[in-house]
Structures are given as structure tokens and as C-alpha cells.
Structure 1
Amino acid sequence: MEAFVLIRRNEADIIDLPNPILSGPYNAILTPIAISVCTSDVNTVYGSGSKKPDNLILGHEAVARVLKVGENVRDFTVGDIVVIPSMTPNFHDKDIQDGNFLHAGANFSANTLGRSTPGVFAREFEVADADLNLALLPEGVSIGSGLMCTDMATTGFTGAKRVNFGDTVVVLGIGGVGLMAICGAALRGAGKIIAVGSRGVSIPLAYEYGASEVISYKEDNITEYVLKATNGKGADVVIIAGGNDKSFSDAIDMVRYGVGKVVNLKLFTGDGSMEIPKFSSGRGMSGKSIYMELGEGGRVRMERLLSMVRHKRFIPEKIITHTFEGFENVKQALELMRDKGNTVIKTMILTGW
């Protein structure tokens, strides 16, 4: 079968691999009908992470058709069109009972598709625990919106879950995750939402999804701007969805003492440290809270997001700026996401399968 794989660091291509074999009675084999390349796929190919398996199949964002189900799968049948969350928790580990869905049994145990286990960029792929990880694409929800729920919406909304109504919120970054964080914050009843970014195609969408204003890190000292806009108090919540290594310390600088929350959704690549400034952290006693998050996964999470889309609470497919026809375009989409020009937010590849 055709599969888009990491051949070696800095090189990915479509090669021929054996079809997957159903490995458990609770699992399913699927074929993707639409996929999207994520920035983390770019980091897997061109970044400096841990050693990956040979010919690792990439990808973790897909809407797919069910081809085969294990004998113990109850809720899905061959032919169903489903949304696959990018995070597929290990529901068989006891850590689940502690609510530790993303790291049950091992660090990043939910975060394996296209990273440590074969991903979705192949004519066929397997998903564990189908009844707990797949979600039917509802009538009235487009393939594009379903696809954007798998990672962008769930991750952005994970950042927004710390928002209370009336809060002043800052979102650093207006890519796909940042835009969905803005949307999630608005839906949770935030007051002022200050978005930070300069990507031209994203600015109108930031306002559409709920930003009160969009400022550019290229033109403003964002910490000074936020402190001035909040009469020196700082924001109630700062969500990091983009930026650079300084963004973490900037977030701590601009969040309130005592009740302020910094939520990080950004992957900080490479080694070294993410610095916490002594002064703005109250020399360790500021009462500011830091949350380091992955997007939430699992079936129920997807069904909730898809219900919101179905009932027109938000339209995530608007962040798709480039659509390709045919799986052979996946490499072009990867390079597009790597370069991230002023007109790019997210891609969608309709496989034709």
C-alpha cells in the first residue's frame, strides 16, 4: 500500500509498505478520505526529537472510512465515516482511573499516531480501542470541519478550558491552534481577548472567532502592551499557541499575580530550558499557575466538539486555506506547512480513496 513515511531525518516520501493486520479484537482498520499535515509532522521530519522507528508512517489528523473491525468492536461497522482524534488514550491502563488520559502507563502514551506507532498517512491504518477512540462524522458536519476537530479544535479548546467568563485572555500565536484557542475562549465567555500574531490570512479569522484586537509582536512590545491594557494587573489567562523560546517567559511576565494562569500548547523544540523570569514570577511566590497541555483526545471529546459544529457554535473548517486532490500531494502539503507563508494556516488532502 502507499504510505507517507519518515525515511530518515530531513527526508519523507511515499513508499510501498505492507497493509496493516488487525492486531486486536477491540481495534479497527481504516482508510483515510481526508488528512491534514500538522506542524508536529514537520517537526518529526525536520526537527531534533528522539529517534523514530524506521519508515515510520506519519500523520495524526484524519477523517476515514472503516474497513475492518475486531470481533469485540460494538459501535462501528464497515463503511462508517469516522473522525479519529489525534490523541488516542490507552484506556486499558489503570492510570486512566486517575484521570491521566494522555500519559496513562507511559509518558505521552496517547500521543503515538505518527510519532512512535504508524500514523494515518497511508492507504490503510489501525486504531486501537475503536469504540473508545473513533467518533462518527455526524450528518451536517463537513469533512473539513471534522478534520479540524481532530487536533486543531481540541488542542485550542484545551487551552481555553482555564478561561472563566469575563476573563481577559491573551493568545500568543494565530495559527490553527491559536485561532481555535481564541474561539474556545470566546465560547467560554471571555471578556477582552488579545491575539498576538502577524500572519495576514489569520488576522480576519482571529476577529471572526472572537478576538477583541490583534497586535503584532513585530510592532509592539507585547508584554508592555498587555500590562498597559490591563492597568498593570496583567491578563487572567495567557495561552501560548505560537511564538519562540521567549514566549514562555513573556507569558509569565504578562499574567496576573495570585490567580493568573499560563497555558502552554506549543511544542518547544530542541534542548535547553524554558525560562521562568524571577521578577515577574514573584521570585517563585507569585501565585501564578502554569499548565503544560496536549490536546484532549478520545471518542467523547470528539463527539462533543462535533456536536458544537453540528449546532453551529463554530465552524473550524474556515482555518483550511489549501485543499489538495489526491494522496500524492501530501509531500507538497508538508513543505507548505514547513514554509508557513503569509497565506497558509492549514491544509486538507482529499485522498480519493
Structure 2
Amino acid sequence: MKAFVMKEIGRVGFTHKPVPQPGPNDAIVRTSRALICTSDSHTVGGGIGPRHDLTLGHEAVGVVAEVGSEVREFRPGDRVVVGAITPDWGDPASQAGHSSQSGGPLGGWKFSNTKDGVFAEYFHVNEADANMARIPDDVSDDAAVYCADMLSTGFMGAEHGDIPIGGTVAVLAQGPVGLMGTAGAKLRGAGLIIGVDAVPTRLKLAQTYGADEIVDFTREDVVERIEELTGGEGVDTAIEALGADATFQIAVRITKPGGTVSTIGYYGTGEYVHIPRVPWGVGMAEKTIATGLCPGGRLRLERLLRMLSAKRLDPTLMTTHIFAFDEMEQAFEVADKKLDDVVKVLVTF
């Protein structure tokens, strides 16, 4: 089969690999749609170290091609979405409620990290009964593929942010995961949602998904503007959706005492992330810093698909570019270099 791989740090391209085979509890999925994530760029840039001919990608939907002898919930021909995070559900971390960390820190993240990812004609799914979900007939592949990561991660930002009904929220960065953080804040009942970015396309989408106020960081001081919008109090919840030291520090500064900083970005560079001492209340302002890795699992995916069936939101509004799999090198360049006002790149198979 054809696969799009990280050949080495800084270099990608196509190669051919054998079609994977399932173990007793596993499945093989024939890919129909995939999304390119900024995490793929971080990986190619060396964010998790060197990799050789590792198939990239972790956001995909497809049709079940083959299942192992112990798989009970799925059959060949089923249309499914697979989580970007595919935990080992028997691991002690999963039993303790931290399934994304099964097998070690970030251990649930297997695709394009510790095993081949989904940018191939077929891909392997471990513990299939627990790590994928059947797509309802009224949900398109183009929409369902967003459940793999963007909806799950973005909504996690709102969930971990402990947003009170009517509370105030700032979402720093309105890329795809930040946009879903904005949508998640609205669904959680926030009374004031502030979207922070500078790209006009993303700011417009932020308003579509629920932002009440927009702050363009190239035109005004983010901290001062948010203090003005909140009467000097700061926000109940700051969702950091970029993964940058400077943005994290802003999140700490704009969060009121007793509030929560919810980080959902991938901090791909630098050795440290800094906490501004005085805005942190010199360690005593009761500001919670919550972190997390995209929740996986069939239950999570089914809930997200239910949101799409109920038309609570339309994630396909984020799809700005569509490429065929054979055009993957061009597609990756557009996503990696943020060309042509890209928000999200969809790849069709």
C-alpha cells in the first residue's frame, strides 16, 4: 500500500509498505478521509525526536476492512471514526482515569509516534472495540473525521477549564483546536467568550463558533483588553490553544484568582514554560493549571458523533483546503507553512 511518511527530521514523502494485519483484538481500516494536524508538523520538525519512514497522521475515518477474531462490536464494511489517541484500556493509568497516559506519559498517543499513523491506504487500530466508533448515517465522513482529535481536544479544553454557567472565558489562539475550545465553551454555558488571534479568517470563524468578543493581538494588548472586558477581574477560564510559552504566560495573567488555566496546545519547542510569579499570586492565588491529551475511546467518540447528529455545530466550516491523497506532499506543505489562509486541510482517499 501507499503511505505518506516522515523519512527523517525535516523530510517527508511517499513510500510503499505492506498492508498491516490485525491481532485478535484489532482492526484494519481502509482510509476514506484524513486531516492534517499541526502536531504532524511538530513531529516532522523533531518535536518528539528522530523517526525513520514513520507513517504520519492521527485523524482519520474509513471503512473496516478486517477485524481480529475477538472483535465483537465491528464487522468489515462498517464506516468508522478512530480516535487520534488509542489507549490500552487494561493499563493501570486507564483504570485510574487517565487513559491517554496508558503505558507511560502520553502513551495513548500511538499513531505517528510509536506506530504507523493514518496517512496510508490502510491503517491498524489496537483494541478496536474500545478505540473506534460507528459513524451514524446522517453524519458525513467530512464531518466525522473532526471527532478524531479537534472536537475531542477542543472540548477537553472547556471541560478541564471548569467553566461555570455564565462564566467568562478567553480562548488564546483560534486554530482548529482553539475554535473547538470556543465552541466547547459555548456548549458549556459560558456567559462571555473572548477569542484571541490575528488571522481574519480564524477570527470570523471564532465568532461563528461562539466568541462574543474578539481580541487581535497585533492591534491591542491582550491582557489590558481582557481586563477591560471583564471589569478588571480577569476570566474564570483561560484556554491556551497554541502551545507557546508567551501565550501560556498571558493565560496565567488574565485568569482571576481561583480560576483555571486549561492548556490544550502542543509545546513543541523550548525547554521550559514559565509561570509569571506575581500574577500567579506568588504561588498562592489558587489558579489551577489543567493539562491533558486528547481523550480517546468509543464512548467519547460516540458522544461527539451525537453532537454532530444533533447539529450542535458544523466542524466542516474549518475545512479550507481539500486535496487527494496523491497530492499529499502539496497538502502537507500548505498545512505546515500555513499558506493561503489555511485553517484545516482535508485529505480524500
TM-score, normalized by length of structure 1?
0.96
Aligned to 2:277: 278
Aligned to 2:179: 179
Q: Helix, strand or coil for the counterpart of 1:343?
A: coil
> What is the rounded CA distance, in whole Å, between the counterparts of 1:106 and 1:267 in structure 2?
17
Aligned to 1:303: 302
Aligned to 1:25: 24
Q: Which amino acid aligns with 2:143?
A: S
270-279 vs 128-137, which moves further: 270-279
| Structure 1 gap ranges (5+) | none
Aligned to 2:14: 14
How far off its partner does 1:268 sit?
1.3
Aligned to 2:189: 189
Once the two structures are superposed, residues 279-322 of structure 1 have per-residue CA deviations (whole angstroms, 9 ceiling, x without a partner) of: 00111111000011212111110100100110111111111111
> What is the rounded CA distance, in whole Å, between the counterparts of 1:45 and 1:328 in structure 2?
19
> What is the rounded CA distance, in whole Å, between the counterparts of 2:7 and 2:46 in structure 1?
14
Confirm or deny: 8 A CA contact 1:6 1:57 kept in the other structure: yes
> What is the rounded CA distance, in whole Å, between the counterparts of 1:36 and 1:11 in structure 2?
19
Q: Which amino acid aligns with 1:305?
A: L
The sequence identity of aligned pairs, in percent, is 37
TM-score, normalized by length of structure 2?
0.97
How far off its partner does 1:271 sit?
3.1
> What is the rounded CA distance, in whole Å, between the counterparts of 1:51 and 1:142 in structure 2?
36
How far off its partner does 1:50 sit?
2.0
237-246 vs 54-63, which moves further: 237-246
Aligned to 2:137: 139
Root-mean-square deviation over aligned CA pairs:
1.2
Once the two structures are superposed, residues 312-353 of structure 1 have per-residue CA deviations (whole angstroms, 9 ceiling, x without a partner) of: 1111111111112x31112211111111146211011111xx
> What is the rounded CA distance, in whole Å, between the counterparts of 1:82 and 1:215 in structure 2?
38
Q: Which amino acid aligns with 1:345?
A: V
> What is the rounded CA distance, in whole Å, between the counterparts of 1:98 and 1:269 in structure 2?
27
Confirm or deny: 8 A CA contact 1:251 1:262 kept in the other structure: yes
> What is the rounded CA distance, in whole Å, between the counterparts of 2:115 and 2:229 in structure 1?
46
How far off its partner does 1:21 sit?
2.0
How far off its partner does 1:41 sit?
0.4
Q: Which amino acid aligns with 2:319?
A: I
Q: Runs in 1 of length 4+ with deviation above 4 angstroms?
A: none
| Structure 2 gap ranges (5+) | none
Aligned to 1:112: 110
329-338 vs 69-78, which moves further: 329-338
Q: Helix, strand or coil for the counterpart of 1:226?
A: helix
Aligned to 2:262: 263
> What is the rounded CA distance, in whole Å, between the counterparts of 1:134 and 1:48 in structure 2?
27
Aligned to 1:60: 58
Q: 1:264 to 1:342 in 2, by over 3 A?
A: farther
Q: Which amino acid aligns with 1:44?
A: T
Aligned to 1:236: 236
> What is the rounded CA distance, in whole Å, between the counterparts of 2:299 and 2:173 in structure 1?
27
How far off its partner does 1:206 sit?
0.9
Confirm or deny: 8 A CA contact 1:49 1:270 kept in the other structure: no
Q: Which amino acid aligns with 1:36?
A: L
How far off its partner does 1:236 sit?
0.2
Q: Which amino acid aligns with 1:260?
A: G
Aligned to 2:76: 78
Confirm or deny: 8 A CA contact 1:118 1:125 kept in the other structure: yes
Confirm or deny: 8 A CA contact 1:182 1:209 kept in the other structure: yes
> What is the rounded CA distance, in whole Å, between the counterparts of 2:46 and 2:336 in structure 1?
11
Q: How does 1:158-169 map to 2 (within 5 A)?
A: 158-161=156-159, 162-169=162-169
Once the two structures are superposed, residues 20-78 of structure 1 have per-residue CA deviations (whole angstroms, 9 ceiling, x without a partner) of: 122x21100111001111000011112443233x2111110001111100001011000
Aligned to 1:98: 96
Q: 1:337 aligns with which of 326, 335, 338?
A: 335
> What is the rounded CA distance, in whole Å, between the counterparts of 2:311 and 2:322 in structure 1?
22
Q: 1:243 to 1:89 in 2, by over 3 A?
A: closer
> What is the rounded CA distance, in whole Å, between the counterparts of 2:221 and 2:57 in structure 1?
36
Q: Helix, strand or coil for the counterpart of 1:144?
A: helix
Confirm or deny: 8 A CA contact 1:201 1:342 kept in the other structure: no
